[in-house]
Amino acid sequence: MHVNHRSRWLFATATAIALTVVTLPGAAHASAGATIDPDEQYAAFLAEKKADGSWAGSADPGAKAKAPAKDLAAYPKLTDKQMAAMRASVKVAPAGSEAVTVQSVQVTSTGMSVTTYDPAPGFTPDQLADKLRKQGKASVRVVRESSGGVSTKAASDCSYGSARTLTCPVSFWRNQGWEDPYVRFNDHSGASWPVSSVVPKWNTVQNIDSEYRWNSCPAVSGSRCVDVFSGNYGAGWTGRTTLYWASGSSGAFSNSNAMVQLNDYYDSASIGGTRNNTTTHELGHALGLGHNVYSGDVMYTYANKREDLGGENPVMLASIYSVTR
Ligand SMILES: [Zn+2]
């Protein structure tokens, strides 16, 4: 037991040293000037958004605004054969590796909101948590989970290979009358955040449908809107995802208050990976994935250059959503 604990400590220390070395030049960042608080930004959005989900405070999208809300049929799903190949090539995480997640938890009279923060280069999870506490964020915690190894892939399982679900027991989007849960990403973020190309990537996952929309998410019965923002939120984290569970929801995400916020503070040189990596990672959280304990995975605790979904994450998600709930 002691050996295991020690090896975990060594792993964490090695990771911290590696990050320190990588990020010495990373003090430079993209956004000069005033920073904004992400919660204040969201409060402004809620106060000002129109009935169709549009918001005048959205960033300049550049060419993204021309990306139409495509018919979901334009986003092909992985085939059963491709899924089988992913299952066959599962990567089991090295012994002693763990997923570390920084979260702020807010309990209200109507439910519980959990925001997952992803540490930027130069910040360990504990340092980021300290900073968030000083900023007054509610109930900040650092969650450490070891690899569960290859599970039996039942929809109730919390891990598969090196992938994990966001919560254990599993949380999920409900079908609400659709064959698959239907999640529309309502993008308000700037041109350099490739949400329009990342959403179709997640839509390849079987059993859950993801659709891209620019600054528009009119009510469609049973569908969901996840709002995506960018802004200069200051140093500490690359992106954060907030999900909400209404009281008595039995693990189902609620439509309200689901959002992703992508931090302009770090440019592509200082982010520790790419903005594509950060965007893919945060949208993975929004669909129900937690951190992958494998350091080469797009859902790893720390930013990296990985931009594809890997094998375990689609298998994990397809398993969660194989059940109509
Ligand atoms: Zn994360």
291 CA to centre of ligand 1 in angstroms: 6
Q: Domain tally for the chain?
A: 1
- Whether 110 and 66 have beta carbons less than 8 Å apart is answered as no
pLDDT in the model for residue 7: 35
pLDDT at residue number 95: 81
115 falls within a domain? yes
Residue 10 resides in a domain: yes
Which tokens hold the place of 50?
A: 């129109």
| Distance from Cα 104 to the centre of ligand 1, integer Å | 13
Q: Closest by alpha carbon to 228, among 286, 277, 278, 189?
A: 189
Residue 325 placed within a domain? no
CA 313 / ligand 1 centre spacing (Å): 13
Segment 198-235, tens digit of pLDDT: 999 999 999 999 999 999 999 999 999 999 999 999 99
Q: Is residue 122 part of a domain?
A: yes
- Give the angle subtended at the CA of 308 by the CAs of 302 and 310, to the nearest 5°: 85
Q: Domain of residue 74: give its range.
A: 2-320
Query: Is residue 195 included in any domain, yes or no?
Result: yes
Nearest to 272 by CA among 140, 164, 124: 124
Question: Taking a C-beta distance cutoff of 8 angstroms, is the pair 180, 320 a contact?
Answer: no
Asked whether residue 143 is assigned to any structural domain, the reply reads yes
Q: Which residues of 55-94 are buried (b: 16+ CB within 10 A; e: fewer)?
A: beebbebeebeebeeeebeebebbeeeebeebbeebbebe
How far apart are the CA of 117 and the centre of ligand 1, in A? 6
Per-residue pLDDT of the chain (325 residues; tens, 9 = 90+): 333 333 333 333 333 333 333 333 344 455 567 999 999 999 999 999 999 999 999 999 998 888 777 888 888 999 999 999 999 988 888 888 889 999 999 998 999 999 999 999 999 999 999 999 999 999 999 999 887 678 788 888 999 989 999 999 999 999 999 999 999 999 999 999 999 999 999 999 999 999 999 999 999 999 999 999 999 999 999 999 999 999 998 899 997 789 999 999 998 888 888 999 999 999 999 999 999 999 889 999 999 999 999 989 999 999 999 999 9
Q: How many angstroms does the Cα of residue 272 sit away from the middle of ligand 1? A: 13
State residue 30's pLDDT score: 57
pLDDT at 256: 79
pLDDT at 151: 79
